Structure 1
């Protein structure tokens, strides 16, 4: 049987149990809980298929699903919530109530945001993170989601949900179990504004000895920014990515630059939506909370502070990917390892909008789900769908025009180019009126020679 040990938060007991010290600020409810199992999954969007992970979790429910979601428009997730055989409840924000109106959610009509992104399943497993289950959140933006099984952490989220469902917004009780050990992994859990999230973030950052990495959508909290400046000035390495569209006079971006920190704006043409700090390669702060005064004092938010080197490594890998992302362009002819563009019909004999098409071919030995692939030209971007079998072909009718000269098309996945073709431009590919431009071989991508 699962062993659960309750400990009063006394320094002697904590030091006796583990070398992992709690952060400096502890809420009045000072119970520390230890559970003898650790079940924690980490996923990143769009590359890990967050939609499928969440829908699968919801479909596994046997008794209840309780969700507090800032936004929701993914049909697969909404379908998983349309169940009469179990207790399903949803809270959402007024800004996005129309997209989930058929689920009869409780709606926050206040000026503050119900900005949480969490669901609790059967009172024991929950998902949280930066991931809104939306088209943009799943297919375009950089996000993270965690699925955790824990009796006590799930109880925290259930308590928060109950407050929201009873329309207690922007307030409520302090978290019951702020510190939970899942085997040897310490997890801190707080809700804003109830638990003053910024204080806990500052306390966690204060423990940094060597380095802090961060990825933040909105970062305007001067208190957190000031702590990072102090740490940097005392020798802690700081490296971070800001969402490009959120950099302003109120952002910490310019302040960090002026203090000589290694920071940059992201290159995702959509949104870099993470709210993540990684401390000394062993502690991760994540959740729905943006380090801002609204996130701390007004909006309903949640954070987890996870003390685990393995989890930190996963987030560091994601940080490296976001930091090094340069737009995902293919700069040279490279071997094909994925689906490719195989045909372009651009100079039609009839009405272009009715006859133009692009065909995709799968040269691999596996079926490929095209839901995460986009075909685009310039700012025009269209998500594909369906399964393409090994050695199979699928034809797509683009919603954008394919010009008769100077045209091109890009096939991409997760923000990275998969294939590219251009015609009657620098590439000298030409199809006569009524003829289809066809690829002749499938060994390489971004190669004019493959089409000749």
Structure 2
């Protein structure tokens, strides 16, 4: 299939795109445009949307400012850190943004409790060393599997999570999503996970705790959160896929999970329309990559066509449900890595992610 089909052919390019001309394609299902209830609040080199308790940010590597590494989604991150008054808990696979480091140090100096957990392999780099020298406690996982999370909890009330490492490539070169959730319940969930990692001598030794509120309903948004390996997110994903009625759209940095791949192919044989983009380099590595079996089954799965990584870990079900987080669709994410995965049920959120899907799909290679 060369195009996706829908009843309404107009797709609006996201704000901040270099080319603002509307593109005519056709889709199965509703158009992926921003509904009137969502307000644009874009940093110049990114685009974003706002709901009552959610801010959604998407990097835009094709924006001219991205080449200059300015005006990206690190801007609202720094502002959020500067507005913090009590505590910052950061679990980050990789951290190299100097402006974020400076904001964390400023917070530390004004009396905010700042704590950081990182992947041990990345601890010896310049920014973590700078933070450690400033007196901020940083712990590494010290184990074979990865501490692959990318989340931050501010003042026990706000969570930032998504696919984006706090690095220059994560903000300005790669395709990523970053979500700000204003919810004490979600903050308690992430704080509990952070405490597991921070309070033990090596994350390998941590004992699993019960997530306080794994299912959160806040205003019009329903959110479920899972932390691997303890919570086994794959079961929830299989349930979503098996219950998909019309469409499955996926953006996957890497996809090697046989159970998830088989479930998607099965739903496709039953009439569900499946479209996707996977990172071209990761797919070329092989090692059980599911993109070839998808394509052999006739699914319109494409390879990323832009520079930088297609780093999303996103599935959109029926234009109503969005899966996001640090969790790649792999066995290691399910069985051994420390990861987080959020399932958001809200059509407006799904619309925003479909706009991002369309942007990447249109630039992909068949």
Q: Does residue 169 in structure 1 map to residue 171 in structure 2? A: no
> In the TM superposition, what is the alpha-carbon distance from 1:291 to its structure 2 partner?
0.7
> In the TM superposition, what is the alpha-carbon distance from 1:184 to its structure 2 partner?
2.5
Equivalent of 1:188 in 217, 224, 238: 224
Structure with higher Rg: it is 1
Q: 1:11-410 counterparts in 2 under 5 A? A: 38-46=52-60, 49-82=72-105, 83-84=108-109, 85-99=111-125, 100-104=128-132, 105-167=138-200, 169=203, 172-247=208-283, 248-325=286-363
Q: Distance in 1 between matches of 2:198 and 2:176?
A: 26
> In the TM superposition, what is the alpha-carbon distance from 1:164 to its structure 2 partner?
0.8
Q: Distance in 1 between matches of 2:281 and 2:329?
A: 16
Select the structure with the greater relative contact order (CA < 8 A; seq sep ≥ 6): 2
> In the TM superposition, what is the alpha-carbon distance from 1:123 to its structure 2 partner?
0.3
Change (3 A) 1:184 1:292: same
Q: Distance in 2 between matches of 1:239 and 1:209?
A: 14
CA deviation map 1:4-38 (0-9, x unaligned) = xxxxxxxxxxxxxxxxxxxxxxxxxxxxxxxxx94
The answer (yes or no) to whether the contact 1:191–1:303 under 8 Å persists in 2 is yes
Q: Distance in 1 between matches of 2:270 and 2:306?
A: 32
> In the TM superposition, what is the alpha-carbon distance from 1:126 to its structure 2 partner?
1.1
Q: For residue 68 of structure 1, give the secondary structure of its aligned residue in structure 2.
A: strand
> In the TM superposition, what is the alpha-carbon distance from 1:191 to its structure 2 partner?
0.5
> In the TM superposition, what is the alpha-carbon distance from 1:75 to its structure 2 partner?
0.5
Structure 2 alignment gaps of length 5 or more: 1-50, 64-70, 133-137
The answer (yes or no) to whether the contact 1:90–1:103 under 8 Å persists in 2 is no
CA deviation map 1:235-278 (0-9, x unaligned) = 00000001011111410011101111000110122100000000
Aligned-residue CA RMSD (Å) = 1.5
Q: Distance in 2 between matches of 1:98 and 1:268?
A: 30
More helix by share: 2
Structure 1 alignment gaps of length 5 or more: 1-36, 328-452
Q: For residue 301 of structure 2, give the secondary structure of its aligned residue in structure 1.
A: strand
> In the TM superposition, what is the alpha-carbon distance from 1:57 to its structure 2 partner?
1.1
> In the TM superposition, what is the alpha-carbon distance from 1:63 to its structure 2 partner?
0.4
> In the TM superposition, what is the alpha-carbon distance from 1:113 to its structure 2 partner?
0.5
Q: Distance in 1 between matches of 2:242 and 2:129?
A: 43
**Runs of 4+, deviation exceeding 6 Å:** none
> In the TM superposition, what is the alpha-carbon distance from 1:52 to its structure 2 partner?
0.6
TM-score by structure 1 length? 0.63
Q: Distance in 2 between matches of 1:178 and 1:273?
A: 25
The answer (yes or no) to whether the contact 2:303–2:364 under 8 Å persists in 1 is no
Q: For residue 264 of structure 1, give the secondary structure of its aligned residue in structure 2.
A: strand
TM-score by structure 2 length? 0.77
